[in-house]
Amino acid sequence: MTDTGTAEATAPPPAPGRTNTGRLALIAAALAGLLITNLAVYAVGRALGGAFTYPQNGTTTQVDSVSITFMSLVPLGFGLTLVAALSRMWSTVIPIARVATPVLAVATIAVMTIPAGFDTTSTVSLAAMHLTIIPAALLSLNALPRRRGRSTHQTPPN
């Protein structure tokens, strides 16, 4: 009897969600979920009387659904792209991003949303939108491939 098996035939299948297609699908789902959630929060805020306007250079500027879309997807998309690129050379960037994301999300509420001069309903709605990036980012960060570092531990021979 000859051995017709190959290494590919005996190799375990990749873990679910760990293929490139699976990773991209998870990140796309996180981005879509973020956008849908933020547009829903915006709609509820508008229904509750939020004007979503703020004074800027002597005029009143309104935050609309296009602004919500842009400000939801661009920061997360840019951040994930940056982390994905850096993680190829510096694997520690993913754990750092897991900590930095919530800190930055909360900080942007304090630095951007509260001082802008929105009405209370708009401020609360926009602050909630800032917080929705946290689960979307963490889910996406978990989808990024992890480089396996070289182990300095030698296994004793059997």
Q: How is the chain split into domains, by residue range? A: 18-143
Q: Does position 119 have pLDDT exceeding 80, yes or no?
A: yes
Q: What is the mean pLDDT of residues 52-74?
A: 95
Query: Which tens digits make up the pLDDT trace of 13-39?
Result: 545 545 678 778 888 889 999 999 999
The three-state secondary structure class of 44 is helix
Q: What is the mean pLDDT of residues 48-53?
A: 97
Residue 38 confidence (pLDDT) = 97
65-74, 92-101, 139-148 — which is least confidently predicted? 139-148
Confidence of residue 2 (pLDDT cuts 50, 70, 90): low
Q: Does position 100 have pLDDT exceeding 50, yes or no?
A: yes
Q: Does position 109 have pLDDT exceeding 60, yes or no?
A: yes
> Are the CB atoms for 69 and 39 separated by under 8 Å?
yes
The DSSP secondary structure of 41-82, one letter per residue, reads HHHHHHHTT---EEEETTEEEE--HHHHHHHHHHHHHHHHHH
Residue 6 confidence (pLDDT) = 52
> Are the CB atoms for 122 and 52 separated by under 8 Å?
yes
